[in-house]
Each structure stands twice: as structure tokens, then as C-alpha cells.
Structure 1
């Protein structure tokens, strides 16, 4: 079932109350921005008609609680996930690349493959690992190394958690600012978080999307503070939870408990650059409004 345009309104019009109403009623929907307008999409024409009628009566939502017993007929769409994929091609592409790399590298076990994607080339000598200076790799034209560590994951849990959060945050940015912007932010956050991690720990083997994820989180967080919109409204407590997790990792507790080394530099670097892009993007969006 394809997504249908239910409403098209000026970008400066506040849809937050009506979106909250749709969320409370359990109506599947998403909001995108196109050429200075915000568009509300729902799966199916029948549901779109109901949403339009609902908006005519309650454009600011249900502030008085009048709709406590209202039942909206939801579209039963088993293809909902396919619809989301169709509307989030860049998010899906990055995750597909991540899954392919996870399979090729055997989730961190195939060092012969990992060495071509790691920040620095390396060779293993018994119990020791020798890193090739990054300058030599860049001189040989291996510029992809500053980006590709984001695709390397060590273990199924590492992959699952990062993929889940990228799907959640990536789709929001792609719906609000477009796929080109999401791709640009992803590559920028990967570059910056990898460079910071290298400066933080020196030559080491690291990887994962977590630095990018903290960048996406910071971007959505600050953007939403400056220019509120439904796409970037994260569930309550998500930002606090992620910041607390960052502090726990920085404390060294996770490593001390034997769960492996944490790329704290990548997390911090990603969060800072993400907050910076969110500040710029949110300020521009606020100015546009």
C-alpha cells in the first residue's frame, strides 16, 4: 500500500498538536518538508480522507480531550515496512552496506578483509598488530579509510544496536531534510568521529556506526530545540539516556567489566559535530520560518 498525501501546509504552520493527536489515535503517518511546505503522508486513500476530516475539526489537536473514545480506522498494511524502505532509500542503503560488510568481515573475525576498511592498514605478527602510518595509505590513494570504519562491527549485538538506531534516526533526517542531506551528514560524522578517535587513542583498531549515531542524535536534538518539527521529536528520555550511556562509557566501567574497548573519542566527536550541524540547520530553518 503506497503512501498518500493527506495534507500539504505551509512550513511555518505548527502541526505538532495535530501530529500528537494522530500518535495518540495510533494513526500511521510521517511528515516531510518539500519546497517550503510540510506534507503529511498516510498509508491509503481511505485513511487520508479520514485524516483530512479530522484536521478540519481539530487543526490544533485535541487540547480538550474530546476525542478520548474516537476510533480511527487504521489501514492494515502488511507492506508498511516496504513503504518505509521506499521513502528512506539512503537509510536503507547505508544499512545494506553495513550488513554486507558484517558478512564479509565475519563480524570482526576476518582480519584479512577488515584491514582494507580500517582507519589504518595493519598486519598481525603473533600476538602483536603493526599499524601502517595513515599518511602512507593516503599517499597510496586509500582515502576511503577515513570513512569506512563506520561499516565495521565486532559482534552481532554491536551490529544490531547500531543498525536499529541508524534506522530510527536516519529515517527522521531523510524525511525532514532529504536523502542527500542524510548522506552528507553520515559521511561528515564518520570522518570527524574517526579522526577524533584516532587522535584520542592513537593507532588502534576501531569501527562501528556509533560515532555517526551520536552525530545524528546531536543534530536532531539541537535542530528540534531551534526549529521544532514532528520528525525530530524524539521519545522522552532518549537524549538523556544516550548522554548517560556516553558518560558511563567515558568512566571506563564498560571496559572494566570486560565488554571490550569503547570508541569514546568517536562518540564525543560525533556528538559535538552533530550538535554543530543541528545548530546551523536549526538556525537556518528558524530564520526561514
Structure 2
């Protein structure tokens, strides 16, 4: 970057700077001695052309071609916006997780992980759920064969035990089950809590857990399910949509990650393994819908 000269008026200097932008010459102005403003050109390749334009401008600054430089303000704004969005996009997942190393995951993420691990040990690694934590399940009674009756919730919930809408998320049935969910909760929950706050994560957890558990009970037809997977899929959907439609948010998922999780979701519906498929799907719909709606309001 080199200076090509000075202009004695800030207004004139800005006018000429805008004119150079219209000509495709990247530049900037800085205060010089007394009232003079220095004109700096970023690329040496543009020095000769910019110097010629400066001589022409000094000879007749009121020339119509320079007056048209007012259009450059919109061009500058567009360039600055594009540059800002690019800088925000390069805050990749690795950059975000580097912050976690310094600050750790957020308090809510840590509490959810700790509570899930505590319940896992309390239930003898998921082997004694019914005897140790029946109060955390959606219901301890066999679900009604009538789907419309199940829409009203379990007998316990209808009698006031509304915490059962949420607490199945803390119950895990195997070591693989809890490891899978806790790793994803740490990554996705930590990402959302770090970038958008504990309140946003709390809202996502409460809404997605309630809807995904309710969907599993109503459509799946059994109260014997548990795990953080519905919340995890909600966080996946939320981060996916935010990263896709609002890259400046800093939330980001690789396409391969999304593809893998969607394949796993589809695999669950083969019923080869006992998986709470409707909780997964319900969580994904909630999170993706929430994330997409948030980008439309931005």
C-alpha cells in the first residue's frame, strides 16, 4: 500500500476515494498534515492509474464523473458486509471448540451431563431403571392401545407429575447409549451455550425433550424409553439450519456429520435395534424448525 498524494478537504478526499472504488481501485484515506488527507492505494498495480485520476480530480473536482462517485457508498457497504460475513464464517467448529478448552462447556451442558451420568450409575449401568428410577420414566404403566388417549399423556402426567415430560432424557440403557449422547451433548450443547447463551440452550432442551418424549410415547406406543437422543437431534437440527442459513452465527456442522446422523436416524426405523425413533425424529423437526425460523427473523 502506497500513498499517491494529498487532498486539502476531507469531503473532497472522501469523494475522490469513493470515485476510485467505483473504478475498482481499492484505497483508503488518512488524516495528514494540518487539514490535508492522504490517499493510499492498496495495490501497486493501480498506482499509475490512480495518480492520473488524482491529477484530473485536482484540476476539476466538480467534474460530473466525480460527482457520480456517490454510488460508491453502497458499493463500500456491500463490500464491508461481505468481508464481515466472511470473517464470521471462518470461525469454524475447531475455533469454537478451542474456546471450550479454555472456558469449558457451559453450566447447563455440564449439569445435564453430570445428571445423566449420575442416573446411569444409580440404575446399575441402565440395568435397573424400573426399580431404581421409575419416577423419571414417562410412565410405569403400559400405554393405552388407543393413540388418541395417549395424546393426553400418561396417567402420571395427567395427575400432575409433569416432570415426566422431561426426565426420560436422563435415563440411559447402556454404556454405548450414554457415551454417544454425552459426546454429542458436549459438542452441540456446548456450542449453542457458548455462542447463544444458557437461556437459549435451556429453551431448546425443555421444548425438544417435551415434544420428542411425547412423540415417542404417542406414536411409539410404549413408556419404556429414555435417553438424551431427542435433545441431541434437536441441537443437531438447530445448528444445521443456523450454519446453513446464517453462517455469521458461528454455529457450524460439516455436511458429512449431518449425513451420518441422518443415516443413523433412518437406520433406526429398520427396527433392527431398540431405538426411540420417534423421539429422534421429533427432536430433529423441533430443532431444525427452530433454527430455520431464527434465521428468517435475523
Q: Return the TM-score normalized by structure 1.
A: 0.65
Q: Identify unmatched segments of 5+ residues in structure 2.
A: 1-80, 145-149
| Distance in 2 of aligned mates of 1:249 and 1:91 | 26
Structure 2 residue 215 is the aligned partner of structure 1 residue 196: yes
User: What do residues 203-224 of structure 1 show as CA deviations (whole Å, max 9, x unaligned)?
Assistant: 3300001111111111111122
Aligned partners of 2:138 and 2:154 also within 8 Å: no
Structure 2 residue 287 is the aligned partner of structure 1 residue 263: no
Q: How does 1:100-179 map to 2 (within 5 A)?
A: 100-110=118-128, 111-122=130-141, 130=142, 134-179=153-198
> CA shift at 1:96, angstroms?
1.0
Change (3 A) 1:163 1:203: same
Aligned partners of 2:215 and 2:278 also within 8 Å: yes
| Distance in 2 of aligned mates of 1:233 and 1:131 | 39
| Distance in 1 of aligned mates of 2:168 and 2:255 | 31
Task: Provide the secondary structure at the position in 1 that maps to 2:136.
Answer: coil
The structure with the larger Rg is 2
Change (3 A) 1:136 1:217: same
Aligned partners of 1:200 and 1:265 also within 8 Å: yes
Q: How does 1:179-194 map to 2 (within 5 A)?
A: 179-194=198-213
Structure 2 residue 224 is the aligned partner of structure 1 residue 226: no
Change (3 A) 1:184 1:153: same
Structure 2 residue 149 is the aligned partner of structure 1 residue 83: no
Task: Provide the secondary structure at the position in 1 that maps to 2:226.
Answer: coil
> CA shift at 1:166, angstroms?
0.5
Task: Provide the secondary structure at the position in 1 that maps to 2:250.
Answer: helix
Structure 2 residue 84 is the aligned partner of structure 1 residue 13: yes
Q: Which runs of 4+ in 1 moved over 6 A?
A: none
| Distance in 2 of aligned mates of 1:116 and 1:19 | 43
Whose strand proportion is higher, 1 or 2?
1
Change (3 A) 1:277 1:200: same
Task: Provide the secondary structure at the position in 1 that maps to 2:173.
Answer: coil
Q: Return the TM-score normalized by structure 2.
A: 0.64
Aligned partners of 1:101 and 1:152 also within 8 Å: yes
Q: How many residues of Structure 1 are paired with residues of Structure 2 in the alignment?
A: 210
Whose helix proportion is higher, 1 or 2?
2
Q: CA RMSD in A?
A: 2.8
2:30 corresponds to which residue? none
> CA shift at 1:160, angstroms?
0.5
> CA shift at 1:268, angstroms?
0.8
Change (3 A) 1:215 1:199: same
